[in-house]
Amino acid sequence: DSVSPDYLAFQVWDSVQGLCSYCRGVLTTQAIMVGLGVGEEAATPLGATFTWVMKDLVGMLGGICFSLVQGSGLDSNAKQWRYFADCMNNIGLALELASPLFPSLFWLFICAGSVSRALTGVAAGATRASMTQHFARAGNAADIAAKEGSQETCVTLVGMLVGMLLGKLVAEYAVLVWPLFLLLTALHLYS
């Protein structure tokens, strides 16, 4: 009545996607920390902080450039842009997870991953508005957006908890990190 009939199915699959992303995010953060040398004597907090801030800076600049170039084009083809966002998220997470495997390219990998995830944020954020309008049936787009935001927060909390459990598991059994990541990525793409 106040939402379109496809709203519930969308939210269920959107939650599955979010859960997969947050779990993989914990795994990639753990990989980046390894690449930064956390736990090694030669690593310094200032060096790790500087690298992390530069990674974020490069990602933000990438997101701004993408918005400038593609901003008005995001108004049409919301489903395609949503899929683009999902693909860029998967690429960014994979680059970040792989970053410690290539020490000489570590900085390039984490910056490319950050840019990829920034493109995800721009494209997903832009399409979210049109999807919310689609689901609203009673002039209630703001109500839907607020409830969706709360649902996203709950999924984030669950994803963080599950991700921490997975992080502990792969810390003990490092051989599982890529199979788990690929399984979660496949589920993310399916949903």
- Assess contact for 35 and 100: CB atoms under 8 A: yes
Question: What number of other Cβ atoms are within 10 A of residue 32's Cβ?
Answer: 23
pLDDT tens for the chain, 191 residues: list them: 788 888 889 889 999 999 999 999 999 999 999 999 988 888 888 999 999 999 999 999 999 999 999 988 887 888 899 899 999 999 999 999 999 999 999 999 999 999 999 999 999 988 888 888 888 888 888 888 888 889 999 999 999 999 999 999 998 888 999 999 999 999 999 98
What residues contact 71, with CB distance under 8 A and at least 6 apart? Answer: 126
What residues contact 33, with CB distance under 8 A and at least 6 apart? Answer: 48
Output the pTM of the full model.
0.89
- Assess contact for 118 and 63: CB atoms under 8 A: yes
